[in-house]
Amino acid sequence: MTIKVGDKIPAIGFSIMTDDGPKGVSSEEVFANKKVVLIAVPGAFTPGCSMTHLPGFVVNAEAILDKGVDTIACMSVNDAFVMGAWSVNQNAEKILMLADGNGEFTSELGLANDMSGFGMGRRAKRFGMIVDNEIVTYLGIEEPGEIKVSAADYILKEL
């Protein structure tokens, strides 16, 4: 079943890259008592994700944070090393890069996407959500090939 507005974020952890290497972080640490904009991308360093989706949030980070958002997070079914390198490549220092390495969080949300036909295995569908104290208040799931309802300018309007 796919997560929907009004649902609580599942209690599943992520990995993040730190100066000391990968570190585990719980969903509670990310979402509890915070307003979070979370975007999910099919893969770090992929064209739409690197040229359009994440850059929109890098450019609009201050405007999003000024709307009362505590954290802007970008999640992908990649490992923490890849997410850390992508963060540096994209100048995304204001964005928390969450690695869902095994796709467990993505699967629990009901937002997994089988991209085996492209040699990418199971990944996340492209989506954006606003989460207020662990409760989803907005969810925009993209149609294949689109970056609309999860784009930074769209999310800004939803805040």
Q: Which of 132, 152, 157, 155 is nearest to 36 (CA)?
A: 132
Partners of residue 124 on adjacent β-strands: 112
At 141 the pLDDT is 97
pLDDT tens digit string along 37-49? 999 998 888 767 7
Q: What is the CATH number of the domain that holds 101?
A: 3.40.30.10
Is residue 5 domain-resident?
Answer: no
Is residue 4 domain-resident?
Answer: no
Contacts for 33 with CB less than 8 Å, ≥ 6 apart: 133
- Quote helix, strand, coil % in the chain, to nearest 5: 30, 30, 40
Please check whether residue 116 is in contact with residue 8, taking contact to mean a CB–CB distance below 8 angstroms. Answer: no
How far apart (Å, rounded) are the C-alpha atoms in residues 70 and 2?
25
Is residue 129 domain-resident?
Answer: yes
Q: Which domain holds residue 48?
A: 14-158
In order of 2, 34, 82, 91, 150, the CA distances from 78 in angstroms are 21, 24, 6, 18, 19
Is residue 78 domain-resident?
Answer: yes
At 121 the pLDDT is 54
The count of structural domains within the chain is 1
List 16, 17, 37, 49, catalytic entry: 49
At 146 the pLDDT is 94
Structure letter (DSSP) for residue 148: S
At 30 the pLDDT is 98
At 117 the pLDDT is 67
Contacts for 81 with CB less than 8 Å, ≥ 6 apart: 17, 22
At 120 the pLDDT is 65
Is residue 55 domain-resident?
Answer: yes
Catalytic residue flag (residue 74): no
At 115 the pLDDT is 60
pTM recorded for the entire structure: 0.93
Is residue 122 domain-resident?
Answer: yes
Is residue 7 domain-resident?
Answer: no
Per-residue confidence in pLDDT tens, the chain, 159 aa = 799 999 999 999 999 999 999 999 999 999 999 999 999 998 888 767 778 899 999 999 999 999 999 999 999 999 999 999 999 999 999 999 999 999 999 999 998 876 666 666 576 899 999 999 999 999 999 998 899 999 999 999 999
Is residue 8 domain-resident?
Answer: no
How far apart (Å, rounded) are the C-alpha atoms in residues 112 and 12?
15
